Chains A and B, each alone.
Chain A
Amino acid sequence: MEYLIGIQGPDFVLVAADNVAASSIIQMKQDQDKMFKLSDKILLLCVGEAGDTVQFAEYIQKNIQLYKMRNGYELSPTAAANFTRKNLADYLRSRTPYHVNLLLAGFDETDGPGLYFMDYLSALAKAPFAAHGYGAYLTLSILDRYYRPDLTRDEAVELLKKCIEELNKRLIINLPSFSVRLIDKDGIHDLEKLVPVGAK
């Protein structure tokens, strides 16, 4: 039902998430923000089981902030991604595993932009583009076809729009709007919400 997507460019990462918070067949909220700001240049996108998403994401968020308070500097995106994965792995074989699927997007001063794919089995993979949810089945091949490592920001947004249009056309679940954000050396920028229109 839920959908996350990330596209890495040469000096930025573009991420988007749907805005629906659903309970069984009812959309309880149509403006839910599924992105969590871990630091000035790191975003965590989180979908999965109802309570686990917010609980886990806020837990990671507060721990990242605590690290900054204790040590005086922020964790890099790579370190944050590995920290998140470790926590998922530690809980995996406990009585209370977290069933969450994540995308972590960040910009590092030395390494540049980075996009990390994590799933509920605590797999971690750095990838140029990634998606979660049923929508991923429909959009990964579009990304395979049109992605280039030297995409400009506008081209990346156009590629994202292509993916959203395909979801609007073929996905059986209606996802009315998507939050979009871009991370670069200047931090996290809110872009215009994508609202697919027109008959499917």
Chain B
Amino acid sequence: GSESPIQFGQINPNIASNFINTLHQDLVLSFPPGFPPSCSPSVPLPFTMSHGTTTLAFIFQGGVIAAADTRSSCNGLVACPASQKILPVHSHLVGTTSGTSADCALWKRILARELRLYQLRHGRRLSTAGAAKLLAHMLHPFKGTELCVAATLCGWDGGERPSLYYVCSDGTRLQGELFSVGSGSPYAYSVLDGGVRWGLTVEEATSLARQAVYRATHRDAYSGNCVDVYHITSKGWARRDREDAEFKSQHP
């Protein structure tokens, strides 16, 4: 299109800092005027973006497990120790988020809206593959801007089988059985590659997911605090109680 995508959703920097204050209820943040310095010549960033996270998802005989840490960091500051990085999109689809928290939250909501509209118009739910394609195509116009979303969509398609897709704002869209995303992902990959099998029980899979996130939070400064685990089956998603990463790994 002829319209620059940078105009879409552009917000006044003064409004941005108020929005951040209400978003993180635990901490009240106030930024001195003129901070941080803008790195983009075209649109000033309202605040420093940072992408610290560990998220993972894998498929096994019992469905899909999605796990993530809960630390939202802003350079050296832990902006929120209790954030939600796994967001339900609908009853049978869950998305892990990595990248800019605000971008991820917004685009997950837009995706949820578009999927609901599809369901109303066509009388059936869009598959995970379709949802991934929709998200990838919605993010494509923003390629080259500061928008940063790296998500895995974990879902159960049409009562048949589990499905896992990785979608990134640079346009990547991959189908797979195991993904980990974020600054802590290499550490998580190495733990998961040694343990993930199709035949895991639900308890084993949950424990392995927690272990992987814990190991990543141990090594990666930008991941930490607690671990969220979601389990998606033919009946929909179920959320495990949030537990402290360190506690659970030492008391499996």
Q: Is A50 an interface residue, CB under 8 A from the partner?
A: yes
Task: Please measure, in the bound complex, the distance between the C-alpha atom of A55 and the C-alpha atom of B179, giving whole angstroms.
Answer: 21
Q: Which one, A25, A26, A55, contacts B171 given CB within 8 A?
A: A55
Q: Is B185 an interface residue, CB under 8 A from the partner?
A: yes
B83-91, B112-120, B136-144, B229-237 - interface stretch:
B136-144
For A27, give the chain B residue with the smallest CB separation: B189
B-facing residues in A26-76 (Cβ within 8 Å): 26, 28-29, 32, 49-52, 54-55
Contacts of B189 on A, CB cut-off 8 Å?
26
B176 touches A51 (CB 8 A): no
For B189, give the chain A residue with the smallest CB separation: A26
Q: A25-B186, A28-B174, A28-B179 are in contact. List 16 more A-B contacts (CB 8 A).
A: A21-B172, A23-B168, A26-B189, A28-B176, A29-B174, A29-B176, A32-B174, A51-B136, A51-B143, A51-B170, A51-B172, A51-B173, A54-B172, A55-B171, A95-B144, A96-B144
Contacts of A50 on B, CB cut-off 8 Å?
168, 170-172
Contacts of B143 on A, CB cut-off 8 Å?
51, 96
Q: Is B166 an interface residue, CB under 8 A from the partner?
A: yes
Whether A51 touches B140, Cβ cut-off 8 Å, given contacts A21-B174, A28-B176, is: yes
Whether A28 touches B166, Cβ cut-off 8 Å, given contacts A51-B140, A55-B140, A96-B144, is: yes
Contacts of A21 on B, CB cut-off 8 Å?
172, 174
Contacts of A55 on B, CB cut-off 8 Å?
140, 171
Task: Please measure, in the bound complex, the distance between the C-alpha atom of A96 and the C-alpha atom of B140, giving whole angstroms.
Answer: 10
Task: Please measure, in the bound complex, the distance between the C-alpha atom of A21 and the C-alpha atom of B179, giving whole angstroms.
Answer: 12
Distance from B39 Cβ to chain A, minimum over Cβ atoms (Å): 19
For A52, give the chain B residue with the smallest CB separation: B171
Task: Please measure, in the bound complex, the distance between the C-alpha atom of A189 and the C-alpha atom of B144, giving whole angstroms.
Answer: 38
Most buried by B among A25, A32, A55: A55
Distance from B41 Cβ to chain A, minimum over Cβ atoms (Å): 14
B168 touches A51 (CB 8 A): yes
A-facing residues in B164-186 (Cβ within 8 Å): 166, 168, 170-174, 176, 179, 185-186
Task: Please measure, in the bound complex, the distance between the C-alpha atom of A23 and the C-alpha atom of B172, giving whole angstroms.
Answer: 9
For B174, give the chain A residue with the smallest CB separation: A29
For B171, give the chain A residue with the smallest CB separation: A51
Task: Please measure, in the bound complex, the distance between the C-alpha atom of A23 and the C-alpha atom of B176, giving whole angstroms.
Answer: 14
For A31, give the chain B residue with the smallest CB separation: B176
For B167, give the chain A residue with the smallest CB separation: A51
Contacts of A95 on B, CB cut-off 8 Å?
144
A-B contact pairs, 18 of them (CB 8 A): A21-B174, A23-B172, A26-B186, A28-B179, A29-B174, A29-B176, A50-B168, A51-B136, A51-B171, A51-B172, A51-B173, A52-B171, A54-B172, A54-B173, A55-B171, A95-B144, A96-B143, A96-B144
For B169, give the chain A residue with the smallest CB separation: A51
Distance from A63 Cβ to chain B, minimum over Cβ atoms (Å): 16
Q: Which 5 A-B pairs have the closest CB atoms?
A: A51-B171, A50-B170, A50-B172, A51-B170, A29-B174
Contacts of B170 on A, CB cut-off 8 Å?
49-51
A-facing residues in B142-159 (Cβ within 8 Å): 143-144
Distance from A92 Cβ to chain B, minimum over Cβ atoms (Å): 15
Distance from A94 Cβ to chain B, minimum over Cβ atoms (Å): 11
Contacts of B168 on A, CB cut-off 8 Å?
23, 50-51
For A97, give the chain B residue with the smallest CB separation: B144
Distance from B11 Cβ to chain A, minimum over Cβ atoms (Å): 22
Task: Please measure, in the bound complex, the distance between the C-alpha atom of A29 and the C-alpha atom of B175, giving whole angstroms.
Answer: 8
Task: Please measure, in the bound complex, the distance between the C-alpha atom of A32 and the C-alpha atom of B143, giving whole angstroms.
Answer: 22
Task: Please measure, in the bound complex, the distance between the C-alpha atom of A21 and the C-alpha atom of B189, giving whole angstroms.
Answer: 15
Distance from B212 Cβ to chain A, minimum over Cβ atoms (Å): 14
